[in-house]
Amino acid sequence: MRWIDRLPLLWLALVALYLVVAPFVPEPHLTEKWRMLLQGTLSRPIDIFDLFLHTTPLVVLAVRLWRDAQRRRHKA
């Protein structure tokens, strides 16, 4: 997990933010794919890949922030 700690936080946040809102028009893929998942219509491989692609940076950012918080808590 050390590779996550070495990722620059600013760049990680920017990539995550960009992929959350991309493409801007007509609606972000993440919104569309999560709606499809909740409706039970997420079945095509390209749609599953899109969900994975657009969600992964958010998960990595969340893990990074959690690890930073844990490190700060243990130092105090």
Per-residue pLDDT of 1-31, as tens digits, reads: 889 989 999 999 999 999 888 888 888 888 9
User: Does pTM surpass 0.85?
Assistant: no
* CA pair distance 67, 76, nearest whole angstrom: 14
Of 71, 6, 34, nearest to 60 (Cα)?
A: 6
Q: Angle at the Cα of 33 (from 21 to 19), degrees rounded to 5? A: 25
Q: Is residue 76 scored above 70 in pLDDT? A: no
Q: Give the per-residue pLDDT at 75.
A: 81
